[in-house]
């Protein structure tokens, strides 16, 4: 294991992210909400929502009675509670990965640490706005004043920070192996998708952005599983 510095971290991160992600998806599926047109998941639609019409579509408002509304939002609250564990898992992976990278390539290390903390903070703040929406939906309220702007800000900052994290470590990734080059290329594409999702057409680009972020973590984890250091010659 001495010549595989990322192996254990990658194994643990993969198991944690897959398990927590599956539990979250199960909670959302149990809510039986509507996935708006052009989105693949209701979560992405919620994160990039810009008006009450999107919330009404997802939760089928105003038709459901209070019991149905509360039941649906409870499942989303449970999924969001699990998301805090997901944030902890991916932030620890990013943080420890950056610390390990520091042994091989010093450049970009500080930026990677700062971007990790910024991504985690943004995700927590994003969840706080989503919780406000769930509370209002459960109560039958329709005034979402100020929520959408704040939600979009933290959502945009979260995805930007994650994509920029991998670019901050680009020198290490690029020099490591062909997987590292794929990660760097994907990170650049992810930031392009981020700009399109945040400033042009979220209905299409939000899901593409999420796919790119998934590929970034998958690529980094796979690199961690395969990366070997060269034995030092005496």
- Tell me the C-alpha distance between 108 and 13, whole Å: 22
Determine the structural domain holding residue 174 and report its residue range: 7-226
Dihedral in degrees, nearest 10, Cα atoms 197, 199, 202, 204: -70
Q: What is the pLDDT of residue 102?
A: 81
Mean of pLDDT values over 25-34: 94
Q: What is the pLDDT of residue 1?
A: 60
Backbone angles phi, psi at 141, to 5 degrees: -80, 155
Residue 21, domain member (yes or no): yes
Residue 50, domain member (yes or no): yes
Mean of pLDDT values over 197-205: 91
Residue 34, domain member (yes or no): yes
In the chain, the number of structural domains is: 1
Residue 36, domain member (yes or no): yes
Residue 188, domain member (yes or no): yes
Residue 231, domain member (yes or no): no
- What is the per-residue pLDDT across 104-114, written as a single tens digit (0 to 9) for each? 776 778 999 99
Residue 143, domain member (yes or no): yes
Residue 232, domain member (yes or no): no
- Tell me the C-alpha distance between 204 and 193, whole Å: 10
Q: What is the pLDDT of residue 231?
A: 60
Please tell me which of 36-40, 42-46, 107-111 the model is most confident about, judged by mean pLDDT: 42-46
pTM of the model: 0.93
- Tell me the C-alpha distance between 116 and 51, whole Å: 30
Instruction: Check: CB of residue 75 under 8 Å from CB of residue 30.
Output: yes
> Where does the pLDDT of residue 233 fall: very low under 50, low under 70, confident under 90, or very high at 90 and above?
very low
Any idea which of 17-26, 137-146, 149-158, 188-197 has the lowest mean pLDDT?
137-146
Q: What is the pLDDT of residue 234?
A: 44
Say yes or no to pLDDT of 176 above 60: yes
Instruction: Check: CB of residue 45 under 8 Å from CB of residue 39.
Output: yes
- Tell me the C-alpha distance between 211 and 189, whole Å: 11
């Amino acid at each position: 294991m001495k010549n595989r510095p990322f192996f254990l971290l990658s194994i643990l991160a993969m198991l944690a992210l897959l398990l927590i992600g599956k539990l979250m998806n199960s909670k959302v599926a149990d809510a039986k909400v509507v996935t708006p047109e052009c989105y693949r998941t209701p979560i992405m639609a919620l994160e990039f929502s810009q008006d009450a019409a999107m919330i009404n579509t997802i939760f089928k408002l105003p038709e459901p009675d209070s019991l149905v509304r509360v039941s649906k939002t409870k499942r989303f609250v449970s999924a969001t509670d699990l998301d805090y564990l997901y944030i902890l898992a991916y932030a620890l992976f990013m943080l420890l990965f950056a610390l390990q990278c520091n042994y091989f390539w010093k450049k970009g290390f500080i930026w990677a640490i700062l971007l990790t903390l910024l991504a985690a903070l943004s995700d927590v703040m994003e969840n706080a706005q989503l919780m406000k929406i769930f509370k209002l939906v459960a109560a039958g309220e329709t005034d979402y004043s100020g929520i959408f702007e704040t939600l979009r800000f933290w959502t945009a900052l979260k995805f930007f920070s994650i994509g920029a994290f991998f670019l901050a470590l680009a020198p290490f990734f690029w020099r490591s192996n062909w997987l590292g080059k794929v990660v760097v290329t994907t990170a650049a594409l992810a930031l392009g998708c981020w700009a399109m999702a945040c400033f042009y057409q979220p209905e299409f680009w939000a899901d593409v952005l999420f796919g790119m972020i998934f590929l970034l973590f998958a690529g980094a984890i796979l690199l961690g599983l395969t990366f070997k250091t060269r034995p030092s010659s005496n």
